[in-house]
Amino acid sequence: MTSANRDGRQLRSFTTHLNEPNILASYRPTFGSSPLNNPKTARIFAHFLHSTGPSLSIFERHPADSSIVLGAPVPAAQQGLWTYTLPLLALENQALLQAILAVSSLHISFLQRAPSTPALKHYHYALRRIGSAVSLPLRRKQIGTLAAILLLGYYEVIAAEYTKWSSHMGGSSQLLREIDFATMTRDLRAHHRGVRAQREQVAQSSLWFSGDHFDSGTLEDDPFAEREGSIDERFIGSVMGQVVNYDEFAQVDNGRAHEPKKRFSRKDIENHRILCDLYWWYKKQDIIQTLISGKKLLLVNLPDR
């Protein structure tokens, strides 16, 4: 019985979702390629979701689940960075989409021992899209722009092009320096403290507040809020050998009172978490490039604000 079950079980592999022996031979990338209107592009995109994406990083806030079926509801705990969140964002961000298709095509070319021409085309399309995005102040700060540059850097890792990889790492480090992580984190922590205080007040007074006064879903939409609220700064300070206060981290006294952002939407919180995910994904690559080159880290720490 056990033997029969074992024989009937199909083992997953990198080629599980490739339905042709040489899928790239008949694939023609375009500047506007999309899995929504091209079955071939959809196959390349699906390969990234189920094969390439899960292998990009095994340490993420939400572990990758390559068994997710497209179109089915995905629990928040299974919404992996490279297998769900960013691919979904890529459907409305061409720079990121082209970068995903480039990495996926390159991966397929190695698996099927095929020419990497389609991957190179997507790579250069992504570069053009990124070039346009970084020249515009608003698009420069978009999550998709940063993710696309980081992904092209990983493309060079697969292609074993150290110089180009370092170039993309340098570009992404510049974008990361422009993101005010410290202020956003302080404001979000203050926001969570306010929500918790409201809840405690409600519990003590047994009063019911309407939705206009109390956002009952805020903490549930940010599963890391409770964990962050329970961080023992004194313990961390004893380990670090110095006083640690996350509410004062990277804060500069310029004589101006900082007014914290009072309300955060679900989108605000999730965008902040995604940017933090990308920051730590970048840091892992930065450490690797330091070990390989013997040079200093490109991004030692975030700038003071």
117 pLDDT band, cuts 50/70/90, is: very high
Rg (CA), the chain: 22
Q: Which residue has the higher pLDDT, 193 or 106?
A: 106
Render pLDDT for 23-40 as a digit per residue (tens, 0 to 9): 898 899 999 989 999 999
Residue 290 within any structural domain of the chain: no
Residue 126 in contact with residue 77, Cβ under 8 Å? no
Residues 23 and 159 in one domain: yes
Question: Average pLDDT of 54-59?
Answer: 75
**Mind spelling out the 3-state secondary structure of 15-38?**
CCCCCCCCHHHHCCCCCCCCCCCC
243 pLDDT band, cuts 50/70/90, is: confident
Question: DSSP string covering 42-92, please?
Answer: HHHHHHIIIIIHHHH-S--SS---TTPPTTS---GGG--IIIIIHHHHHTT
| C-alpha atoms less than 13 angstroms from C-alpha of 190 in its C-beta half-sphere | 14
Q: How far apart are CA 83 and CA 32, in angstroms?
A: 21
Residue 217 within any structural domain of the chain: yes
9 pLDDT band, cuts 50/70/90, is: very low
Render pLDDT for 76-111 as a digit per residue (tens, 0 to 9): 667 788 888 999 999 999 999 999 999 999 999 999
Whether 272 shows a pLDDT value over 50: the answer reads yes
223 pLDDT band, cuts 50/70/90, is: low
Residue 278 in contact with residue 62, Cβ under 8 Å? no
Q: How far apart are the first and last CA of the chain?
A: 65
Residues 63 and 200 in one domain: no
pLDDT for res 297:
83
Residue 30 within any structural domain of the chain: yes
Q: How far apart are CA 124 and CA 41, in angstroms?
A: 16
Please report, rounded to a whole number, the percentage of residues in the chain having pLDDT higher than 70. 72
Residues 188 and 121 in one domain: no
Whether 303 shows a pLDDT value over 50: the answer reads no
pLDDT for res 289:
83
Lowest mean pLDDT, pick from 44-58, 149-163, 210-224: 210-224
pLDDT for res 1:
36
Residue 171 in contact with residue 302, Cβ under 8 Å? no
188 pLDDT band, cuts 50/70/90, is: confident
Number of domains in the chain: 2
Residue 276 within any structural domain of the chain: no
Residue where one domain finishes, among candidates 146, 161, 177? 177
Tokens found for residue 257: 């009172």
Residues 83 and 68 in one domain: yes
Residue where one domain finishes, among candidates 177, 196, 215? 177
pTM given for the model: 0.80
Q: Which domain holds residue 127?
A: 14-177
Residue 286 in contact with residue 225, Cβ under 8 Å? no
pLDDT for res 221:
57
Render pLDDT for 131-182 as a digit per residue (tens, 0 to 9): 999 999 889 989 999 999 999 999 999 998 888 988 999 999 999 999 888 8
Residue where one domain finishes, among candidates 177, 203, 237? 177
Residue 297 has φ and ψ, to the nearest 5°, of -65, 140
Q: How far apart are CA 80 and CA 102, in angstroms?
A: 20
Question: Average pLDDT of 180-200?
Answer: 79
Residues 95 and 238 in one domain: no
Residues 30 and 155 in one domain: yes
Whether 126 shows a pLDDT value over 80: the answer reads yes
Residues 53 and 153 in one domain: yes
Residue 76 within any structural domain of the chain: yes
